[in-house]
């Protein structure tokens, strides 16, 4: 995903609990805090496995921190996004679009 975004001259930022500085340099992106990622991103894509600790990683408080008009893409696991909070964000216009190929409650 980073290589594709770089191909479009997008500024890429990422959050990872276990950052690898060598990747940051070789792939041309910057690690930031989760809050900074939420506040700064025009597009947020999720690429993490599901664990109970990250259940509803994207929830109402997280969405409130996002830029108006953000786009969210989740191709990871459905349980990462609180579906009710996502719908509320879409209805209010806070979130301008969502691309999902996974849904909350589906079997992994």
Please give the domain boundaries of the chain with CATH numbers for all domains: 1-32 (no CATH), 39-108 (3.40.50.720)
Which residue is associated with the tokens 């959050």? Answer: 15
Segments in the chain below pLDDT 70: 107-108
Residue found under tokens 């786009």: 71
d(CA 3, CA 5): 5
Please give the structure tokens belonging to residue 46: 């999720």
Q: What is the pLDDT of residue 108?
A: 58
Q: How far apart are the first and last CA of the chain?
A: 22
Helix (H, G, I), strand (E, B) or coil at 100: strand
Look at the alpha carbons of 69, 75, 76, 77 in this order and tell me if their dihedral is positive or negative. positive
């Amino acid at each position: 995903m980073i290589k594709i975004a770089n191909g479009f001259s997008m500024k890429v930022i990422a959050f990872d609990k276990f950052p690898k500085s060598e990747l940051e340099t070789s792939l041309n992106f910057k690690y930031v805090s989760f809050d900074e990622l939420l506040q700064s991103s025009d597009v947020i894509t999720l690429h993490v496995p599901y664990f109970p600790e990250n259940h509803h990683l994207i929830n109402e408080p997280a969405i409130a921190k996002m830029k108006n008009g953000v786009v969210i893409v989740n191709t990871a696991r459905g349980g990462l996004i609180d579906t009710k909070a996502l719908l509320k964000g879409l209805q209010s216009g806070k979130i301008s679009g969502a691309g999902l190929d996974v849904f909350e409650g589906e079997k992994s």
